[in-house]
Amino acid sequence: MTRLLSCIVCTLLLFSSCYKEVGVPVSIDFTYKLKDEHVTVPAYADIMNRTTGATSFKWTFEGGEPEVSSYQNPGTIVFRTAGKHKITLEAWNEDERQTKTIEIQLDSSVNILFDTTILINHYSPVEVAIKNNTIGASTYNWTFEGGNPATFSGAQPPNVTFTTPGEHAVTLSVSNGGQQFVLTKKITVLPALVNGFDMQAAFKDDDGEAPLTLQLQSKAGYYITQQWRSDGGQLQSDTASSNSLFFPDPGTYHITLKVANGKETKEETKEIVVKPNSGLRTLRDVKFGIAANKDYGQFYSILHRTMYTQTDDIATVGKEIDLGFFGLSQTFTVNKFISPDSSAKGYPFKTIPGATYTRYFNSQENCGCGVTVSNADFDNLTNSQWLRQLRLPAGVNESTAFDQTLVPRIVPFETADGRRGLIKIRQFVSNGQLSYILTDIKVEKFKDE
């Protein structure tokens, strides 16, 4: 019995020493995810360990921060240099050890930047120099909206020319092999240089006779400098856009406007003929209404060449009214030119403030004063010399009325300041309350005309 028990014990001890327990196998696996999926350095890689069966871990991050780790989950690793980086995991337990390596390709960081320089100025055509300051890119593609050239591939483009006015986009698209980066800048193009000007005689000089003041107005645009010049006369300014030019004497003159914008220069020249001073002012198609006519008016200012009605405000211009007319009705049986200072004396008109005295020969055929001015005299009158010889005795025929039987009718007159003139009644127009007489007037100019 003792021998049997001893054999059993020995057998059990032998079995125990030979037995070896089977361990848990190691299955190694891991992956990573780049923050925002950016493969451009600095890149942030979140490491996800999927290994099973291991109790110990050793990470190696080539070029990473940190470079090594013994944590099961090392978290986020930062890579700051472009290129290939190996991530290696060694995982094991008491019985097994495994290794896995993943390679990650990272691109260089890109700082996209370029400068544009306008050569000379923004007036069309605009030449633009471009300097590429981009860092980290491997390919470059340029587009120039409305430019010449329109596109370019390469790091440094040539100068680009824009001719169409407005805003134009300059766009650079670059890549580092993995990502695209785009930058756009705007170029403003101003229109090309234009030149031109208008000229018009001043109101009192619209007959084109000396002395004459000419109003000048520049129509030039997109210039830096402009300059007027004339081969005669006196310029108010040689640079102002709104300008005037005074000609004291008759003659043929040339006026030039020169403009420049740093790229081109343009000149425009116009000619003006200043006629000798006839001393005579001719006014055509002047309509005097009958007393009831509120449209055409009854009182006329030669200075302003304006007809005033009974209802107009003439407080400030009353002293400059020269002629008045009274027409009784559309039948024109009683008509006469009246002195402005007599407007309210027996006539249905209001008093004219500051009114002056004008004399007339309303009815030459009934005058008996030895002065007769014919229709031919009126038509042949081209200067004031003949008018200066005309004398109108005070009080003669001023109250005499006339009818419409004589057409044309010539009515001589003399204003308070001694200017003599002729009124030619061309037509009596009967139209109810809108009836009027149609006249032409020739009168001596004012002393300063």
pLDDT tens digit sequence for 138-167: 999 999 999 999 999 999 999 999 999 999
Residues 183 and 232 in one domain: no
Residue 321 clears pLDDT 80, i.e. is over it:
yes
**102, 126: one domain:** no
Domain assignment present for 9: no
Could you tell me the CATH number of the domain that includes residue 201? 2.60.40.10
Structural domain contains residue 7: no
The reply to whether 3 falls in a domain is no
Q: Note whether 66 and 150 are same-domain residues.
A: no
Whether the per-residue pLDDT at 101 is higher than 50: the answer is yes
Q: Are residues 345 and 204 in the same domain?
A: no
The answer to the question of residue 258 being in a domain is: yes
- Of 189, 215, 244, the residue that ends a domain is 189
Is residue 143 domain-shared with residue 41, that is, in the same domain? Answer: no
Q: Does residue 215 sit in the same domain as residue 178?
A: no
**Is the Cα torsion angle 242, 245, 246, 251 positive or negative in sign?**
negative
Does some domain include residue 22? no
267 and 285 co-located in one domain: no
Q: Is the pLDDT of residue 179 over 90?
A: no
User: 371 and 287, same structural domain?
Assistant: yes
Is 135 a member of any domain?
yes
Same domain flag for 419 and 295: yes
Q: What is the pTM of this model?
A: 0.72
For residue 415, give its domain range. 280-444
* Final residue of a structural domain among 224, 246, 274: 274
Which of 169, 189, 209 is the endpoint of a domain? 189
Indicate whether 417 belongs to any domain. yes
pLDDT above 80: residue 15: no
Given CA atoms 290, 293, 296, 298 in this order, what sign does their dihedral have?
positive
Average pLDDT of the segment spanning 201-218:
96
